[in-house]
Amino acid sequence: MKVSVCRKAHFNAAHRLYNPKWSDEKNWEVFGKCNNPNYHGHNYTLEVWVKGEIDPETGYLIDLKILKDLIESEVEDRFDHKNLNEDTKEFKELNPTAENICIVIWKLLRAKLDPKMELKVRLYETERNIVEFDGN
């Protein structure tokens, strides 16, 4: 019998969508305003979903304090109030689209989470633009 729990978090970050292999014109055509050379920011909302069996001794799937600390150390400390393109090694070579940010966060958390638990990450770049990744 499996149950899911979710911890929500927020971080603010700046980015620029850009493909260095393309001309300025093509970058503008594809990424529009998100290609602004002086960057722009988003208030990202993150949902981290963990699924698995309840531990009969605690009644918990995972202590949400542990999940909170994990999100803080792996995601917020790394990306909050950063320029993703300039300040982070994860996006030096990788275009910081919501899709790529979501997968990077999933990998960072996956590496630290108990392997017997399933993990899904949902990233809201805006209230209306949402990306989800569960490792598949």
Residue nearest to Ni ion (CB): 34
Nearer to Ni ion, 62 or 95 (CB): 95
Burial of 23 (0-12, 13-18, 19+ CB in 10 A): exposed
Candidates 18, 27, 34, 104; binder of Ni ion (CB under 5 A) is: 34
Task: Give the Cα separation of 134 and 33 in Å (integer).
Answer: 29
The distance of closest approach from Cβ of residue 29 to Ni ion in the complex, given in angstroms and rounded to an integer, is: 16
* C-beta of residue 64 within 8 angstroms of C-beta of residue 87: no
54: its two tokens: 């309840």
Nearer to Ni ion, 16 or 78 (CB): 16
Identify whether 125 is a catalytic site residue.
yes
Quick check: 109 binds Ni ion (CB under 5 A)?
A: no
Identify whether 57 is a catalytic site residue.
no
The distance of closest approach from Cβ of residue 15 to Ni ion in the complex, given in angstroms and rounded to an integer, is: 6
Q: Amino acid identity of 64?
A: L
Q: Which stretch binds Ni ion (CB under 5 A): 32-40, 66-74, 100-108, 126-134?
A: 32-40
Pairing of strands 118-124, 82-83: unpaired
- By C-alpha distance, which of 122, 103, 92, 121 is closest to 16? 92
Residues 6, 81, 86, 132: which is the catalytic one?
Answer: 81
Which residues are marked as active site?
A: 34, 81, 125
Q: State the residues that interact with Ni ion by CB under 5 A.
A: 34
